[in-house]
Structure formats: C-alpha cells, structure tokens
C-alpha cells in the first residue's frame, strides 16, 4: 500500500499562474472564479479573469490567467 501525503502545497508565480497539490474536488469553476477543496478540508477560492484550469496530475491542478485574489478557508 502506498501512502500519499494529504497536506496541500500552493505555488503562486506572479499573478498569472497558480498550482494546488492534493485537491479532492473542484467545487465551482468559471473564467472569473475557482473554488477547490483539498484532502485536508481546506477550501481555496481564486478570483481573476480569463482563468483556465488544467490537471497536471491526478490530484493537482494548475490555474492560468490573471489572478487577482486567493482566499484560504
């Protein structure tokens, strides 16, 4: 059995790129708003314009576009 880490790492590069590791689900997504939940229960809200979402692996996402705000709950 392989043990997987359940804590999340967030990488922000300027205001145009963001990565989130260990996402459990995408709760909402459109071109100005993204809401994701991590395995640890943290909710991440990302606001911006022209947001594009892509998977970089099975439990992580990459967001591109103009990011104006990131909120952690």
Which class for 54: exposed (0-12), middle (13-18), buried (19 or more C-beta within 10 A)?
exposed
Distances (CA, A) of 17 to 36, 49, 51: 16, 12, 9
Q: What is the pLDDT of residues 5-52, one digit of tens each?
A: 578 899 999 999 999 998 889 999 999 999 999 988 999 999 999 999
What are 32's two structure tokens? 């100005």
At residue 45, the 3 state secondary structure works out as strand
> Bigger pLDDT: 19 or 2?
19
The pLDDT of 50-68, averaged and rounded, is 90
Say if pTM beats, i.e. exceeds, 0.85: yes
CA–CA separation, 9 and 21 (whole Å): 5
């Amino acid at each position: 059995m392989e043990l997987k880490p359940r804590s999340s790492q967030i990488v922000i590069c300027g205001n145009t790129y963001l990565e989130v590791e260990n996402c459990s689900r995408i709760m909402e997504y459109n071109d100005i708003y993204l809401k994701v939940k991590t395995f640890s229960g943290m909710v991440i809200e990302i606001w911006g314009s022209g947001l594009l979402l892509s998977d970089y692996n099975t439990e992580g996402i990459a967001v591109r576009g103009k990011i104006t705000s990131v909120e952690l709950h």
